Amino acid sequence: MEPKKVAIIGAGVSGLVACKFTLSKGFIPIVFEARGDIGGVWTETLQTTALQTPKKLYEFSDFPWPKSVTEDFPKYDKVVDYIKSYADHFGLLKHIRFNTKVQSIDCEGCSDEELEGWTLWGGTGEAFSERRKWRINVVDARTNVPLEEVVVDFVILCIGRFSDVPNIPEFPPNGGPEAFKAGKVLHSLQYSALDFDSASNLIKDKQVTVIGFQKSGLDLAMECANVNGPKKPCTVVYRTAHWTIPDFCPWGIPIGFLYMNRFSQLLIHKPGESFLLYLLAILLSPIRWLFSKIVETHVMKKHRLSKYGMVPDQSFLQDMSSCLFATLPEKLYEKVDEGSIILKKSPSFVFCEEGIMIEGETKPIPSDLVILATGFRGDQKLKQIFTSSTLRDYMTFHDPAVPMYRLCIHPRIPQLAVVGYSESASNLFTSEMRCRWLAEFLDGTFKLPSIKEMEKDIAEWDKCIKLYSGPYFNRGCIATWHVCYCDQLCKDMGWNPNRKKGFLADLFLPYGPADYASP
């Protein structure tokens, strides 16, 4: 029997690990990458960008960082080198078609009525069907000239959640970017695509206003402050203060001991938990509160948040459960003190002729350049890639993260998986575990449960995440449930979920990529 062909769309971190693990099972991976290089979002980033998590967490389980990289939070160039070394080591480059953009994918061999009538995924709960195929429509990314269509047995979408489609806020009439006459408006996506010299020249000697205070906004503010200093301060407009941690060791305690071990999972409610575990999470809730306070008091003392009016209203646990926490760039508040960065909190803003006008103020913020660090609409990319209007409807939701079983399988779309649309304390770690699980599924190690059971499981995950994230609900965030989630994947694959030696070690030591290097 001929090996099955698996199309992998995207050669970022998720696409590379998907290629590696499908290859290890004897499948033929065909990786389509629109850019001319691997690395995904790391190929177009800011000069100041560094890892948000310690490299020990952002690591391939079977390919450690080189000893020459000594810092805990390496800069973007070392991350790119590490990713390229991984691809070279496992011989992945020969399976990648560079500068090849996938325009659309089309499922052949099943009707809309058949899709609606299934009780099992794909009708059988198995990965493949001989009569169903995916047709991949591709063009040359440099010339837009159509290339030969490719027919495959399975598709893995690794097209990324934080790229390509910017999230642009909605504005009232005459309040959008068209009202801004004095300068230019960019999204962080456009700024990141510039080479470093062009980016520096663009902001040099300009009054820059950055909208947003998550990872991109933080890095943009630092970049502007470094270039212009207090002579041309960068104004940062944000709606909500979130917890920006200075390091991963609050009060000297590695954060993994608070949130990434098995004991931490006993403190929270989990999908499908027994009554005993439900009761235990209630009884241990004071410890859950204490862990959150340990992080909060550390951040408040180190950053003097009260001085800057930056104390969040919500707990650190709520931010972590929504994946809204970030690592603060070094010396950011020193830049605030020297006048290079000005912080402005406002629930809304509109553009005006001179710049932007924020709610609660009567004078505009004069600007030469406004950069929107307002995130991305990865859900739109997922939706738009399908030729079928029915499949597009299945991928249409009000939340940027589509509800999927094990965070990668849509219960109604056969022979397709999505990797890289969830968030955790380490997205590489999560993607690698998911690709291991997916490779075992493709290899027939297990079948999927019924569609009804999968939808019930998705609903249970949503319920737990909403319980702790509140108004910032993000169904793609499993940062608080990382060990629990990996346990589910291990049980499906027939692995022992307890990865440590000894009861106490398994209960209290933090879990990391190296714990899952082999079955």
Segment 164-222, tens digit of pLDDT:
888 899 999 999 999 999 899 999 999 999 999 999 999 999 999 999 999 899 999 99
φ, ψ of residue 108 in degrees (nearest 5)? -110, 140
Give the per-residue pLDDT at 1: 72
Which secondary-structure segment (H or E) carries 209?
A: strand 208-211
- For the residues 449-455, what does the mean pLDDT come to? 96
Spatial contact of 445 and 494, defined as CB atoms under 8 Å apart: yes
For residue 11, what pLDDT is reported? Answer: 96
Question: What confidence score (pLDDT) does residue 162 get?
Answer: 81
Q: How far is CA 219 from the centre of its chain?
A: 17
| Domain map (residue ranges) of the chain | 5-163+377-516, 177-372
| Second-level CATH architecture of 177-372 | 3-Layer(bba) Sandwich (3.50)
CB-based contact 306:300 (threshold 8 Å): yes
Q: With beta carbons less than 8 A apart as the criterion, state whether 319 and 242 touch.
A: yes
Answer whether 176's CB lies under 8 Å from 287's CB: no
Tokens standing for residue 31: 């990786």
CA–CA separation, 97 and 109 (whole Å): 26
Residue 126 has pLDDT above 70, yes or no: yes
pLDDT score for 306:
94
What are the b/e assignments for 193-204, b being 16+ CB within 10 Å? eeeeeebeebbe
The first and second tokens of residue 442, run together, are: 């493709």
Look at residue 400 in the predicted model and tell me its pLDDT: 60
CA distance 467 to 185: 37
Q: Which amino acid is at 412?
A: R
Greater confidence (49 vs 16) lies with 16
pLDDT for residue 356 is more than 90? yes
Contacts for 363 with CB less than 8 Å, ≥ 6 apart: none
**Environment class of residue 28 by beta-carbon count within 10 Å: exposed (0-12), middle (13-18) or buried (19+)?**
middle
213: helix, coil or strand?
A: coil
DSSP H helices, 271-366, are 275-283, 285-303, 305-308, 316-321, 332-337
User: What pLDDT does 360 receive?
Assistant: 84
The pLDDT value recorded for residue 148 is 92
Instruction: Identify the pLDDT of residue 399.
Output: 64
The alpha carbon of residue 231 and the mean position of all alpha carbons in its chain are separated, in whole angstroms, by 36
Tell me the HSE value of 301 on the side-chain side, using a 13 A CA sphere: 9
Prediction pTM value: 0.94
Q: How far apart are CA 114 and CA 42, in angstroms?
A: 41
Give kind and range of the element (H or E) at residue 442.
helix 427-442
Task: Give the model's pLDDT for residue 402.
Answer: 76
Q: Where are the beta strands (DSSP E) in 34-169?
A: 96-97, 100-108, 133-140, 150-152, 154-157
The rounded distance, in Å, linking the Cα atoms of 142 and 144 is 6
Confidence band of 326 (pLDDT split at 50, 70, 90): confident
Residue 380, pLDDT above cutoff 80:
yes
User: Looking up tokens 């820059």, which residue turns up?
Assistant: 208
d(CA 173, CA 179): 10
The pLDDT tens digits for 262-304 are: 999 999 999 989 999 999 999 999 999 999 999 999 999 999 9
177-372 and 5-163+377-516 share a CATH fold: yes
- Beta-carbon count within 10 A of 250 CB: 22
Q: How confident is the model at residue 398 (pLDDT cuts 50, 70, 90)?
A: low
Q: What dihedral do alpha carbons 36, 41, 43, 44 form, nearest 10°?
A: 110
The fraction of the chain above a pLDDT of 70, given in percent, is 99
Residue 52: which pLDDT band, with cuts at 50, 70 and 90? confident
The domain defined by 5-163+377-516 folds into: FAD/NAD(P)-binding domain (3.50.50)
d(CA 407, CA 362): 46
Burial group, residue 161, by CB count within 10 angstroms (0-12, 13-18, 19+): buried
Residues in the chain: 519
Rounded to whole angstroms, the Cα distance separating 176 from 465 reads: 34
Which residues are paired to 245 by β-bridges? 327
